[in-house]
A and B are shown apart, each in its own frame.
Chain A
Amino acid sequence: MFVELNITLRVSRHPARNGKAFDEYRVQLEERMSVLDALFRVQREQDSSLGFRCSCRVGMCGTCAVYVNRVPRLACSTLVRSLECDVLTIEPLPHYPIVKDVAVSLQPFFEQWRRAKPAFRPRKPEARDLARIPKDSKYRRLTPTKRDCITCGACFAACSIVGMNDHYLGPAAINKAFLRVLDPRDAAREERVKVLDRSLDGVWRCHTQFNCTAVCPRHIDLTDSIVRIKRALFWPGRLLKP
């Protein structure tokens, strides 16, 4: 048994149609309806021209990240009821070029992602044995939660420094670099540190606003990663200690 309720979806349209930047749709709220479910309902029953992205629909791929009431969220994982609001404004994530309606291109995100050199580079590519990482090592202690990034781009959208600075690395790229820098098997530490240490657009542009941490759908403590890198850049020896 559920209470019948209608919600209003205000969806941003790009390009604007009939001079209106937003289109409004009424949707009957169902028991465990997610924002993505609501968008699909609109697309199938009311307006087939509505454009939005999704893929896995279970919060694993990061494709469906949109601005819901001006907070970056995964549409598939955000239950409408949890928003406690009957007008949902769906907009494209800020800081990205818009492709159509609420679908954006994540190109700026991946430009910075690549700059942080996210690929693992082995110290001993010819090695045949498994590397042994001690259970109580810094890498094992600090990184389990940091690996969950699904590159959804929410943190990049939420960061106000990204909003004012076109060249800032952004939380996800820094977090990825942190993972690699801490990895005892990785050989490219110095190169990554050089990128991270840039005063123009490296970690020093972060001012611990915590926007990124607040919106990460995988609950990664991104600000923590960035702050740890700052400390490591000041005390270089400490980072390298196991």
Chain B
Amino acid sequence: MTGENKFFKYLKIVIGFLVAILFLLPIFILLMDSFKNQRGILTDVLGWPNPFIFDNYPKAMEKMNFFNSLWNSVWITVVSTALILLFSSMAAWVLVRYKTKISKVMFILFAVALLIPFQCVMLPLMSIMGSKEVFSITLGDATFALNGLNILNPFGLVFTYLGFGCSMAIMLYHGFIKGVPEELEEAAMIDGCSMFKTFWKIVFPLLSPINTTVAILQIMWIWNDYLLPSLVLKEQSWYTLPLQTSKFFSTFTSSWDIATAALILSMLPVVIFYLIAQKKIIKGVVDGAIK
């Protein structure tokens, strides 16, 4: 190895370290602060905990009803992601393979839907999901009224995530499926597969790299989402982890000590999941990038 090459090799390592520190430092500060009391945090945010307090964690778990909200977060994230993967992959496959005018228009609609900010559709969406009358029309003596779907609950939230998540997922799947040789599906049809079997037995297994990519993006979004659950979930017992952590911040006071512990607790499941599935996730992302 020449001197210049060695220099660049070490430079890359140093830059890598600096970037890692940049990303990990806030988490480290958060972790340290979660072992301090309120006074300790306000007087010395960056310092080592003195005294070292563990009480924040049990308090946070109790106040945020941790296991209940963890369960809510987990099942809402898992079910929503699974449904997004399922419906988006099937929809994208049909849009790629059946080139009709309708399929082209639908694809454009999905692409355009990506550009609409959530805030624009937030209010009409809530009125449609609520139980009140959305609109009414009077023709002569008769009045026709359309009421909301009355789905302001976790199932409604999952349904909404499916709607909001599928646009981007379909775009990602669409690009990937275009690279899957059509002959494989033709061979499957000749071998005896119906359309449904062709998808399940041949196409879907080939999508695993992009499945991983889509799943990561959706999980990150749904797990951390605050706005949509705050609008849809009315009852405390339905709250997800981000909603529960918001309890510790109010207009006049913030319980930083318990809040930091709560934030660490809500982060923990995803970090553990990542550490377990690390190899598979990285392989999926890399394969997706190559494709």
Do A and B assemble together? no
